[in-house]
Amino acid sequence: MTDADVAVLLLVRVAVGLIMIMHGLNHWRGGGRIEGTARWFTGLGLRQGVLQAWMSVLTEVGAGVLLILGLLTPLACAAVISVMLVAGLLAHRPNGFFVFKDGYEYVLTLAVVALAVAVLGPGRWSVDHAAGIDLTGWTGGGTALGAAVVATGGLLGTFWRPERKADAGPKADAESKAGGETEAEVQSLAEAEPRAEAEPQADAESTVRAEAKADAEPQSAPGPESGTVPPRPTSENTPESVEQEAR
């Protein structure tokens, strides 16, 4: 490899590694924090949402650090591919290909880049090269892809238990809809929950105050002060009309 090739590999490793680290930190310290991430995984049909959230944090941050260092590169690439497989199959596949529709375009790109790094190797500027670990070519690519497929299959076989809509009813429809949302949407919903809970209480308090004010106001009696004009006597009720009828 030339110095240019090694520099490009380093650039790709650092870029993908930073992306993975940022995603892992967002699952941990983002808007919904671990609780919001756990609800997102549960919405995808994965049991043990909190466990899934912490596993995603450790896997993504760990894979990113290993990629940047160029240490155990095929295993780091396998972790990236596995994360992208889970996200693509459960969250993005129903939305089609394009990323602007929350499709699987983005996760597919990261997975293919990770596989290419596993095949090419980390380059001379890496811990693997310094330690004499040479697992590249078809061996490196096969190791990364095989480990990713096995890990993904094991995760889905162990934890993926999506509810059927016909059995669960309206509740399952709502959870399925939540599962199709992005992480940012779920976390924003989690932040909006306290405000939504406070609104009915505020409405109830305003209603009580309005009723108390209405009860406290005296009702004015009809008469001159209230501006109500008493009815004028008709000709049928006057004394003259009564006398005429008596005659």
Looking at residue 216, its pLDDT comes to 55
Segment 120-172, tens digit of pLDDT: 999 999 999 999 999 999 999 999 999 999 999 999 999 999 887 655 444 44
Residues of the chain with pLDDT under 70: 165-247
| DSSP labels, the chain | --HHHHHHHHHHHHHHHHHHHHHHHHHHHSTTHHHHHHHHHHHTTBS-HHHHHHHHHHHHHHHHHHHHHT-SHHHHHHHHHHHHHHHIIIIIGGG-S-GGGT-SHHHHHHHHHHHHHHHH-S-SSSHHHHHT----HHHHHHHHHHHHHHHHHHHHHHHB-PPPHHHHTHHHHHHHHHHTS-HHHHHHHHHHHHHHHHHHHHHHHHHHHHHHHHHHSPPPPSSTTTTPPPPPPPTTTSHHHHHHHH-
Across all residues in the chain, what is the average pLDDT? 80
Looking at residue 32, its pLDDT comes to 87
Looking at residue 172, its pLDDT comes to 42
* Structural domain spans, the chain: 3-189
